[in-house]
Structure 1
Amino acid sequence: MTVVSTEGRGRGRFPVYSLLVCILAALAALALLYTPIRSKLYKIEYWTADWRTVLLADSTPGKHPRIVLVLFDPATFDGGVVSPIPRDMHAQVLWGLAAMQPAAIGLDFYFVASQGEAKDAAMLDALHKIERPIVLGGVDHHTTEFDQRQLAYQKSFLADAGRPVGYLALDYGPGHVVRRTSAPLADSPFQESFARQIAMAAGAEPAGPGSSSASMPIAWLKGPDNDTEPFFRVSPRDLLPGADETRRQEIAQRVKGNIVITGIAMRNSDEHDTALSVWTERKMFGAIIHAHILAQLLDGRYYSELDGRSELIVLLAVGLGGVILGWALRDTYARLLNLGVATAVLVGIDALCYLSLRLVLPFTLMLSVWFIGALAGRHLRKLALWARGRATAPVPQTA
């Protein structure tokens, strides 16, 4: 007769399914290193990052105290849409602002074509004679929108103006969404961004990541009631002759000693999707984006990111944690419950790093690696139990 130990029952059939799951988990982990697949995952990463930005963005109790926006809107032209903005009118606005003694004025405009001798002369006269610091915007090969003739005109106009110039280019990420500041081009005549030039013209000395124009995440700012444009805004018509004097005095109080950006607020002109658009479903005017960048430079608010090596170490640690937890949890209910709790903890860690350390973690990648690790850990345990059962099973004895 044959006698078999009861422990031999644990030996069971080979867990083919668990082996296949472990192989697929390993392939999935390796696939994350493959650039085309990783780039697809980054699209989800940016979407989740945009929601994190909306929910956890820096906030201010009111309008930003140091920035005023003067935006040429339809109200400036009695409800009409005018493009380009007449330079002689713009010059009048600059004279009115200069009398209010701002710390600096930035013009979110490019000068790539003449508007006629009289209008050009009016603008250049203002740029020559106004004694307050003024920064002009410039375009370069960040975009292919302008030809050599237009760039040549810009070079001549800016040289005649004799004012500091910063490049206006915005950085478009996946989905054509602005999330970061734009870095300078090596061959560009402009090596400082528009926002940094304004900050320096106003006497600020940006430190940390703001000490250069290198690309960095924009530290978006929200006002009360999730206001994504927390800046004091003025229509140029309030600065032109015949405007209400009470309103002018109110504007003068806000402008004195602070920074002014002039720009455009015309629908379908200089509008861009930003990280905040996932919530507002609205585009943001370029001048307002520059105001957000300027605000972070003035306030010293920055976010850092993991470099390639640090990101790999974090992902390995998260994946290993998933393997350990998946291995340790046996009961299905307990496994699901604890995996849910652990995932919530991962979300909490991401939020804590963002708020306290101002560190942006690759959350979607972490979550993916976490689930891959947890799944692999569960089935590695099954393989290990099968192997142990096979190793300890007694050799059948015949009596």
Structure 2
Amino acid sequence: MSKRTARIVRQVGAPRLIASALVLLIGVLVARFSWEVPLISDAERALYDFRLMLTTDRAEQDPRILLVTYTDDTLINTQVRSPLDRKILADALRNLDKMGAKAIAIDIIVDQPTPNDDYLVDAFRSMKTPTYLAFTSAATNGRFIEQRQEDFLRDFQSKIRTTAVHPTSIEIETDNDGVVRNWPKQPKTLPPLLARAVTGAADNFDDYHRGVRFRLPAYQDRPVFSKLPIDLIANPDTAALMTDQVKGRYVLIGGDLLDLDLFETPMKKITGERTIGLEVHATMLAQLLDGVQYSGIPPGSTWAVALLVIIAGTLTALLDARPWRMAVLMVGQAIFFVALPFYLQWHGIDTQYLPAFGWGIGWLLAYSSVGATARAVGSQQRRFAQSALGKYLPRDIASEILRDPDRLALHGEKREIFVVFTDLEGFTKLSHAIEPEMVAFLLNKYLDTLSETVLRYGGTIDKFVGDAVVAFWGAPISRPDDGERAARAAWAMYEAGEAFRKDVPEGVPAIGRTRVGLHWGEAIVGNFGGEGRIQYTALGDSMNTAARLESANKPLNTKVLASRAAVERSGLDWWRPLGRITLRGRSTPVEIFEPVPESTAEERAYLAKLLERIDAGDESAFDELESLALTNVRDAALANLVYRLQHIEPGGSYDLG
């Protein structure tokens, strides 16, 4: 490998090497700082959430925590929505105080007056159970509370403060994408966070700001935290029945309301639902009670792995090995770099800010940049020849070019070619009526089918324009039977389109016909696009004429249209004439023909003779043509011919405008 590397350095030259070095540097930076790069950071968060889901424990119902919630039924029963009814809260607190709760935390902001405030104050002041009421400030939560609300809240807190009643912070921190992943930072201006407050001395969590340990229920019908509506607790008769579910537990009171205080968590990808804020606090409380803290990523390790990734991609690109060995090596590297974050997360290391997606991008940048530099060692002609092979050239032409790359011109040259242009009727409208995945499936299948047809008849695929296929015969290598190949391919592409439209999945609306245009003429053929983006293509009026012939099928009710120039050089006798038209944007009339392989030579000759007589001004010939059209009522193209001839002078041309 060292000899190969030395050869590359000599042959590539300094500019390309400098460019490769810059790409490698970018790869290192992306592999290290991908969490800070827009868009890439979104992918990193998605991967982190995926890792978290796969490594999340399935838990039995937690016997230490009970959620008591205002529900939408509570709002209906109390006929109070905002602020939440405080009388029912006061009644619930009085009952809970008798039921032996270990501690009570209330995730409700009392930030404006209601008629029941004195009743609630009396309830708080009578509490013997440690009780914590939510507090926040305009400085830390300005989107949801104003200074006047904070002032009211502070005054209310001072009224209820006893040795058993205290304020608690209910801050929940979300990332830039609105998802809760971490414990919030603890501002000095706020009281202890709810989870820390209700447990008392929990100093080891004071500075914890890493991942929340989410859990999933072991059984679908038993959530991780049991939940009771506040209505049951507020009613003395039903509350007495709930004593066993309250005694010795941390009771968290808050809302479980539609579209209120809901948060997205990584678990949404599994549950499909957002999580109420009260349950987020319960999750953090359970994590604190279990003493589970994720470890951070060791300092400097991200730099080390980023460099390792770039080295791996570089060495892989330079390795001269058999394909199966290269495949094994690349798969092995992929498994290692993909599995490492999962391994770390599984073993208690918080892999947030671990640039796992950035590793992949860095590896690809290193591999592609060094590989491109290595592949640059070779002849320009060989590279051009290779770029035209594969799916765009038939096999015999590709073989000739490989033997003699000079056959594929590196510049434009004038050639006489047969051009075929196709279009799938109504596909753009159809694409708006079905799912994007189905659009991609149908379009790829359709283009594959038509591409195979072109190559089977020895054509060169020029380009795809949406659902349109452009192909030509006569370049880069011409053959004596190019005209026949092109004509048969044009008809075969129409038939392939008919087979395709009959074989679509259920539920897909009807697909239109494939329309085809065929023309022969001069074009400039060669490689165009510049050194950085090269395409072997044809340019010129013949390409435009073929495209306009394809478009003319729609107003003329035809399927395949060919110009006289193409017909005369096709070597086939299956054509019937359809008069003269002036294509859109053109001034020179074109004689057009349609392939009718199913008709007899006598039928085609009879129609050609009728048109000659009509051009000569023979009115009886027009009557015969009308009679022929009436006899063949399903022949829409023939009926259209009669219509056009009615609107032009003998020997004239119908203008498609």
Matched with 1:4 is none
Q: Deviations over 1:112-158 (max 9, x none)?
A: 11112xx1112211211111111111112222132221111111111
Change (3 A) 1:193 1:228: farther
Q: Give the aligned partner of residue 125 of structure 1.
A: 122
**TM-score normalised per structure 2:** 0.50
User: How far did residue 260 of structure 1 move?
Assistant: 0.6
For residues 107-256 of structure 1, the aligned pairs below 5 Å read 107-116=106-115, 119-140=116-137, 141-144=139-142, 145-162=144-161, 163-186=165-188, 188=189, 190-200=190-200, 205=202, 207=204, 210=205, 212-225=206-219, 229-241=223-235, 243-244=237-238, 248-249=240-241, 251-256=242-247
Moved more, 131-140 or 75-84: 75-84
Distance 1:47 1:160 in 2: 46
Q: CA deviation at 1:58?
A: 2.8
Alpha-carbon contact 2:44-2:356 (below 8 Å) kept? yes
**Cα deviations by residue, 1:56-85 (Å, 9 ceiling, x for unpaired):** 11331x211211000110233457772322
The secondary structure found in structure 2 opposite 1:335 is: helix
- Equivalent pair of 1:81/1:266 in contact (CA under 8 Å): no
Aligned to 1:356: 347
* Structure 2 counterpart of 1:84: 83
Residues 16-72 of structure 1: CA distance to partner in whole angstroms, max 9, x if unpaired?
798455543333434567789624321111111111112211331x21121100011
| Matched residue type, 1:74 | D
Question: For residue 72 of structure 1, what is the aligned residue in structure 2?
Answer: 70
Count of aligned pairs: 364
Distance 1:226 1:304 in 2: 30
Tell me by how many angstroms 1:296 deviates.
0.6
- The amino acid of 1:71's aligned partner reads T
2:39 corresponds to which residue? Answer: 40
* Counterpart amino acid of residue 93 in structure 2: L
1:370 is matched with 363
Return the alpha-carbon distance in structure 2 between the equivalents of residues 345 and 35 of structure 1: 19
**Does the aligned pair in 2 maintain the 1:43–1:174 contact within 8 Å?**
no
Question: In structure 2, what residue type is equivalent to 1:196?
Answer: R
Tell me if structure 2 keeps the 8 A contact 1:105–1:259: yes
Aligned to 1:51: 50
CA distance in 2, matches of 1:344, 1:22: 26
Encode CA deviations 1:344-394: one digit per residue, 9 max, x unaligned: 22222211111124342332223333333444565677799xxxxxxxxxx
Greater Rg over alpha carbons, structure: 2
How far apart in 2 are the matches of 1:91 and 1:315? Answer: 57
Letter in 2 for 1:174: N
TM superposition score normalised by structure 1: 0.80
What is the CA-CA distance between 1:313 and the residue it aligns to? 2.9
Q: Which amino acid aligns with 2:244?
A: Q
- Please say if residues 35 and 44 of structure 2, whose CA atoms lie closer than 8 Å, have aligned partners that are also in contact: no
1:66-115 superposed Cα distances (whole Å, 9 cap, x missing partner): 11000110233457772322111101111121211111000001121111
Structure 1 unaligned spans of 5+:
1-6, 385-399
Q: Deviations over 1:268-318 (max 9, x none)?
A: 111111222233332111101111111111111222232663432332234
The separation in 2 between residues aligned to 1:297 and 1:102, in whole angstroms, is: 18
Separation (CA, whole Å) in 2 of partners of 1:74 and 1:143: 26
Residue 63 (structure 1) aligns with? 61
Partner of 1:288: 279
Task: Give the direction of change, closer, same or farther, for the CA distance of 1:11–1:91 in structure 2 (3 Å limit).
Answer: closer
Q: Is the 8 A contact 2:181 2:212 kept in 1?
A: yes
The answer as to whether partners of 2:101 and 2:246 remain within 8 angstroms in 1 is: yes
Q: 1:356 to 1:343 in 2, by over 3 A?
A: same
CA pair 310-30 structure 1, distance change in 2 beyond 3 A? closer
Using the TM superposition, give the Cα deviation of residue 326 of structure 1 relative to its aligned residue in structure 2, in angstroms: 4.4
Instruction: Report the CA distance shift for 1:18/1:100 in structure 2 as closer, same or farther (over 3 A).
Output: farther
Question: What is the rounded CA distance, in whole Å, between the counterparts of 2:326 and 2:219 in structure 1?
Answer: 40
What does residue 104 of structure 2 align with? 105
The amino acid across from 1:70 in the alignment is: V
* Residue 328 to residue 253, structure 1, CA distance change in 2 (3 Å): farther
Q: Residue 191 and residue 96 in structure 1: after superposition, are their counterparts in 2 closer, same or farther (change >3 A)?
A: closer
CA distance in 2, matches of 1:27, 1:78: 59
Question: Partner amino acid for 2:120?
Answer: M
- Asked whether the equivalents of residues 88 and 231 of structure 2 are also in contact (C-alpha less than 8 Å), the reply is no
**Secondary structure at the counterpart of residue 261 of structure 1:** strand
Shift of 1:214: 4.2
CA distance in 2, matches of 1:81, 1:348: 52
**In structure 1, distance between residues paired with 2:117 and 2:256:** 22
Identity %: 20
8 Å Cα contact 2:27/2:361 also seen in 1:
no
- Higher RCO (CA-CA < 8 Å; seq separation 6+): 1
- Name the aligned partner's letter for residue 365 of structure 1: G
**Counterparts in 2 of 1:36 and 1:300: CA distance versus 1, 3 Å:** closer
Match of 1:71, SS state, is strand
Amino acid at match of 1:55: L
> How many angstroms apart in 1 are the aligned matches of 2:219 and 2:16?
51
Alignment RMSD (CA, Å): 3.3
Check whether the contact 1:69–1:262 (CA below 8 A) recurs between aligned residues.
Answer: yes
In the other structure, the counterpart of 1:396 is none
